[in-house]
Amino acid sequence: MNENPFTVSRRKFLLAAAATALAPPLALKASKRKLGPGDKLNHACIGVGGMGGVDLQNFAKHPNVNIVALCDVDEIRLKRAAEAFPQARTYTDWRELLEKENTNIDSVNVTVPDHNHFAIAMQAIRAGKHVYCQKPMCHDVVEVRVLTEAAVKAGVVTQLGTQIASGQGDRTAVQWIREGAIGKVKHAYLCSNRPGAVKDYRLVGPRPAEGQDPPSTLNWDLWIGTAPQRPFAPDIYHPAKWRAWQDFGTGWSGDIGCHIFDAVWKGLGLKAPKTVIAEVQKSWEESPERRGDTWPQGDHITWEFPGTKRTTRTLTLEWFDGEFYPPEEIRALYPGPEYPAESAMLVGTKGALLIPHGGMPVLLPGDQFKEYKAPELEERNHYHHFVDACLGGPKTESHFAQSGPMTEAIILGTVAIRVPGKRLEWDAANLKIPNHPEAEKYLSRIYRDGWQIAGR
């Protein structure tokens, strides 16, 4: 008797289908050199403008890195990077780079819009390459699960681009949480209310009624990649505003959430959530056009997590961005003149802990913890830690086995955004939402013709 994969073994079906990756597949033979501390890491950068330029410069500063290949769909950005690294071969199509450089490279970084993360990282992992991928790891929940499992199985070194996770502030916070400085954590309040972010990154829409020809220096078809075909429009997508659109980005919570979550997730030892629900900007919720196209300009997401040894029986974790802010009584716990716009506040049985994004954590109330000392931690560069791990060093701070489940929970929050007001019960083992199965359509995407996941 044949099993219906969507009713009997949906998880097995989805993972097997996604793991077959993209059509047409790259017939790449896995090629992985055994490297040691004295070796050189031959590295390729996929995406070299904006954050890609930051990543490129950081990798290049490691004394044991050779930048051997550069790739970008934007000819202007690629030319600028090539002038700085004339020894590197250049490519517009990442598939050509992986095919032609298969035996020449050991690692890649994936620094492109979210919707293409899975495609590139998955093919690189299949080819035996170590992968540094910008956050969020993938656009969709299923992609995150598949990529995480593929990386673990392949035994390659991985690192999510949560650079702050390697900083002294986040690492101190993790240690204090694990030491039980504030007792068992009862509630967590995370926020990202960065000034200017709404105007610059969270477009209201709609798209222009008609597109126009892209500039000759931009390969628009490759930029679109796995997403639905959309006409090019200036100042709407490339280079920075794509995050506002559901086709390409994961909204503010999907992007910045990976930073703010990291120390909390790691310190508390969180696993998959039990439920998630989202409250969203009213004007977005009431507009069918916006709900089908853009992300809201503000949202409030609440997850319920199973308890761990560092929390009470269950942990409620709330996220606030845009026009939503943590409760006034929570912000009042911080005695400074202004509550950090991007931060996490953990409320425990013995006190509270504020973790400002990029800063040192603060134990509250201050008088109670004035004798509590911060650990002495060595300086660490997130990129160089990845390189050192590729050369046989210690495991990376944000390897996919650790950061994958965290990203999955965060991206599940974007599913809740798309069905606001519905408390979604999450069956993580089977990738199902049993009480609202209609929301399961947001766990994965149908890829554009020529980029499909086989079997879907």
Q: What pLDDT is attached to residue 424?
A: 98
The more confidently predicted of residues 33 and 12 is: 33
- Nearest to residue 67, comparing CAs of 122, 95, 105, 34? 105
For residue 36, what pLDDT band results from cuts at 50, 70 and 90? Answer: confident
Q: What pLDDT is attached to residue 452?
A: 64
Q: What pLDDT is attached to residue 28?
A: 67
pTM of the model: 0.93
User: What is the Cα–Cα distance from 217 to 239, expressed in whole angstroms?
Assistant: 13
Omega before residue 365 within 30° of 0, cis: yes
CA torsion, points 327, 333, 338, 341, in degrees to nearest 10?
Answer: -50
State pLDDT tens for residues 50-96.
999 999 999 999 999 999 999 999 999 999 999 999 999 999 999 99
User: What is the Cα–Cα distance from 280 to 354, expressed in whole angstroms?
Assistant: 25
Q: What pLDDT is attached to residue 248?
A: 97
State pLDDT tens for residues 323-357.
999 999 999 999 999 999 999 999 999 999 999 99
State pLDDT tens for residues 102-127.
999 999 999 999 999 999 999 999 99
Give the count of beta carbons closer than 10 Å to the beta carbon of residue 432: 17
- Nearest to residue 357, comparing CAs of 213, 170, 80, 226? 170
CB crowding 367-392: b at 16 or more within 10 Å, else e: eebeeeeeeeeeeebbbbbbbbbbbe
Backbone φ and ψ of 189, nearest 5° = -125, 110
- Residue carrying structure tokens 């013709």: 449
User: What is the Cα–Cα distance from 250 to 382, expressed in whole angstroms?
Assistant: 23
| pLDDT at 17 > cutoff 90 | no
Task: Report in angstroms the alpha-carbon separations of 73 from 113, 127, 197, 220, 222.
Answer: 11, 22, 26, 8, 7
**pLDDT, average across residues 303-314:** 97
* Cα end-to-end span (Å), the chain: 21
Omega before residue 86 within 30° of 0, cis: no
Determine the angle formed by the axes of helices 141-154 and 117-126, rounding to 10 degrees.
20
- Residue carrying structure tokens 């590295």: 43
Could you tell me how far CA 324 lies from the centroid of its own chain? 22
For residue 205, what pLDDT band results from cuts at 50, 70 and 90? Answer: confident
Determine the angle formed by the axes of helices 251-268 and 168-179, rounding to 10 degrees.
50
Edge-first strand order for the sheet with 275-280 is: 362-364, 352-356, 342-348, 185-192, 311-321, 299-306, 275-280, 424-425
> For the chain, which domains are there?
10-163+383-403 (3.40.50.720), 166-378 (3.30.360)
State pLDDT tens for residues 222-253.
999 999 999 999 989 998 899 999 999 999 99
Q: What percent of the chain has pLDDT over 70?
A: 92
State pLDDT tens for residues 270-301.
999 999 999 999 999 999 999 999 999 999 99
Residues β-bridged to residue 278: 301
C-alpha neighbours within 13 Å on the C-beta side of residue 449: 1
Lowest mean pLDDT among 128-142, 366-380, 405-419: 366-380
**pLDDT, average across residues 150-155:** 96
- Residue carrying structure tokens 């992985």: 32
User: What is the Cα–Cα distance from 112 to 219, expressed in whole angstroms?
Assistant: 14
| pLDDT at 6 > cutoff 50 | no
